[in-house]
Amino acid sequence: MNTSKTIDTLRRNLYQRYDYDIPETSLYMNVDKVKQKERIMPLAHNQTICEINAQSNHQSETMGKVDPEIRKIIDSLSDIGLLITVLTKKNIKHTDIDECLEVAYKIYELPKIIDFLLSICVDVLFQMDIDLMDFKLVTGIINKSLEVSVNEIYSQMKCDTQEKNPVSITVFEVNTDQLEIGQVVKNYKELCTLLNQLPTTGKAKQLQLKDFERYFEWEKSGQKFIITDIYDTPLEKEDKRKQGNNSIYVKYIELILLQYLSQQKNGTRTFKKRDWWQLLGMVNHKYNRVSQKELKEIDYKITPFEIKHFYQRCNKKLEQVLFSALNNLKNRKLIEYELQTVIVDNENNYFGADDNDKRRILQEERFVLHNVMGFEKMIQVFCRFKQDEYYRMVNQRLSDLYGWHHYYKQIKIIYIQKDVLAAIPQIEIDLQKELLNKKIADVLNEDAYKKYEVEKEKWRINCRNILWGSYQGHNFGNDKPWKIPDTYLDAQKILVDELICIGHQKERGFIPTFEEDDEMDQIFNSFLH
């Protein structure tokens, strides 16, 4: 059943006006009476109501072709003014109030945020010393109050200025309640339906998808969307190009790696991915070596789900940072690296996989992924925390067919020692420059944030004065202070990134996957015992 904050606020103020006991429950829309088109009929014999109703209907009819959402809001403003004008006359019973309000269907159907703002406007209106039976005055104040209140919302709306109808009130928030990690959504239209959003096209669609990235992650498979992560709190709207912090992490990894390689004599070093992480100081010796039971005993908040989600999240980030560093060094011809697949047979013998061996592994991986588990991509396995089950089945098939116990990948780094030694001083200088540069960028961004907050507060105070001030029948608010654009912080960050930051370009190097690594592949096996 439909309820409305505006209706409840209007009802409460009317009850207070006549000293009736304030109702404790909400008023619901009377669907039966609405279907019978009985709007404000209990008092319709009153000539004033008939005249106002006719005037309101005429005003609505002369609006011409207007966006349906906007027209619904405009009509509701007129309805609110009409209700207030009629119901503030003397000798109105509380039953008349309820009967009139329960059929005001346009108000019940307002978007939630507009309904919320109008409820505030109604509260303000009843606290002003004005003639509530003056229809033009009442509707004028409501219009002006809503204009001031919704001004902030308009600036947040995304609209394509190239479209014929750039103004579109889409105030429904993105709702991810119907999504789950690993879910496959068949197309964009179905995704919008699940998110309570309207499908669109062209540039507006691209902006909408970019906004969706604040709420969840996905991978595309043709037209399908595979949900890979859902955020508890939406990400802030910020320039995604800024990679300054990551570049500093990468510089640290490069320096530590080169310092380590410079002390080795044979020109090559080979480790599993997890061992590289530990050697470079990215994780400690406990990473993926402590049992689930031991971790759960640390704190009651640590659950099997938390542990699985932790490793899933951390592995992804650690891989990105490590391979960004490796690719940077490779591009400068300081190192070469390759991924090697190692097979361990049932007799505990180790040997490198040749091309035929890799094809056999690939065949069994695909068979388990598609035929056994019914997934399209490996990301669905990881998102559903089924990698231990997946690789257990793959290894079992390889054992039955070829006598292999398991397989894993390792990273082999090839380098020339004298070139590595010569590069270290410059990398140390570059790192210090980036650290200083980051501090300067942070100071400038913080200064922009303070400026934004100060100007925003000035604007809030101005809007509050307008909202609570006395309506004089003129277009007040013309001489208002500067309203700082909502795009100000984003714009300033982009300019800092472009004109101040060094090393913020997005890394586009090849990042190999480690789905077959025995430590990554069976990442939760040690937690199952």
342 three-state secondary structure: strand
pLDDT for 89 = 76
The pair phi, psi for residue 470, each rounded to 5°, is -85, 135
One-letter amino acid of 193: T
pLDDT at 418 over 80: yes
pLDDT at 188 over 80: yes
Q: What is the mean pLDDT of residues 100-108?
A: 85
| pLDDT (tens digit per residue) in 277-294 | 888 888 888 888 888 888
Residue 106 has pLDDT above 70, yes or no: yes
Nearest to 84 by CA among 30, 6, 5: 6
How many CA atoms lie within 13 Å of 191's alpha carbon, on the beta-carbon side? 24
* pLDDT tens, position by position, 57-95: 544 444 444 456 677 777 788 888 888 888 887 778 888
Q: Given a cut of 70, is residue 161 above it in pLDDT?
A: no
Instruction: Give Cα separations from 70 to 66, 168, 280, 506 (angstroms).
Output: 7, 8, 58, 41
Res 507 pLDDT > 50: no
pLDDT at 362 over 90: yes
Mean pLDDT, residues 254-271 taken together: 90
pLDDT greater than 90 at residue 525: no
- 419 by Cβ neighbours in 10 Å (0-12 / 13-18 / 19+) ranks as middle
Which is more confidently placed, 162 or 252? 252
**pLDDT for residue 400:** 94
Alpha carbon dihedral 364, 370, 373, 378, in 10-degree steps, equals 80
Mean pLDDT across the chain? 78
d(CA 404, CA 395): 7
Q: Is 460 exposed, middle or buried (0-12, 13-18, 19+ CB in 10 A)?
A: exposed
Q: What values do phi and psi take at 509, rounded to 5?
A: -70, 160
Half-sphere exposure of 101 (CA within 13 A, CB side): 26
- What does each C-alpha distance from 68 to 16, 106, 116, 359 come to in angstroms? 34, 12, 19, 58
**Cβ contact 240:497 at 8 Å:** no
DSSP, res 290: S
Per-residue pLDDT averaged across 247-271, rounded?
Answer: 87
Q: Is the pLDDT of residue 509 over 50?
A: no
User: Using an 8 Å Cβ cutoff, are 245 and 509 in contact?
Assistant: no
pLDDT digits (tens, 9 = 90+) for 334-343: 999 999 999 9
